[in-house]
Amino acid sequence: MDATIQFHIEHLFKVLAKRTDLQSNADWMKRALFNVPRHFFIEQYYDHEAYGGIVHVNSVNPTSEQLETIYSDRGLMIREEPHSAASQPALIFEMLDDLKLTHGLKVLEVGTGSGWNAGLIAFAVADDSLVYSIDLQKDLIEKARRHLHSVGFNHVNLRAGDGGFGWDGETFDRIIVTVGAPDIPPAWTESLAEDGILVMPLKTGSVGDPILQLHKRDGKLTGKFTRWAGFMNLQGDFRYSAEEVLEP
């Protein structure tokens, strides 16, 4: 690996490892950062100081300035309309920690985005064919497929469609949602295996989105809020509507 790339990955790891809520998984997190390099998943990002507001990234030969941005602990806007973002790395690792991933688990991700999260999940479960990821935007799916292939994950199941309906005919040990939803669509509960875990941001109409960690026991979901975050809204038939959320 190029020394400059290695330096920036090491820097991000050191930033993340200082967080008390991530220290217990520091060894795995470091291996994940090096095995699923973030710069392979960011083709472009928006920067108001850049010419035209857009920075295009050559993943084979990124500049030092681009690497500094990509390996900073912040979210990046990767598409303006419809909006799509690469979430803050600390938040991604916190939610993956909530998900309690181990080898051999079958996982559904709703909100593929750049594909980096799907790659981290594939690394965690040690079998990329057990990872399913769905996004409403077909072009994002094709880009994510290319990104995943570039780091050796050739068997992640990707689909363009409404994530609120889940993945027909499949049952999952874990479900992670990376867009804010105002409710839990029935398909997510139905497709979650007994003793499975669902992690999702809940849109409440207030500032920020509380993250829910839900366990399925005896067919029912129970759990807790683990932290606050900010996510783009779920789109499709189960999309967020401020009017509906705030309606008495």
Q: How far apart are CA 141 and CA 8, in angstroms?
A: 27
Q: Which residue is catalytic, options 24, 59, 72, 87? A: 87
Report helix, strand or coil for 247: coil
3-state secondary structure of 245: helix
The answer to whether 229 and 211 have CB atoms below 8 angstroms apart is yes
Single-letter code of the amino acid located at 239: R
> Is 87 assigned a catalytic role?
yes
Task: Measure Cα distances from 145 to 3, 9, 95, 114, 177 in Å.
Answer: 27, 22, 22, 9, 18
| Burial zone of 189 (CB within 10 Å; 0-12 exposed, 13-18 middle, 19+ buried) | middle
Count of Cβ atoms closer than 10 Å to residue 114 Cβ: 25
- Give the Cβ contact number of residue 195 at 10 Å: 9
Q: Is the peptide bond before 82 cis (omega within 30 degrees of 0)?
A: yes
Distance CA 181, CA 201 (A): 6
Active site residues: 87
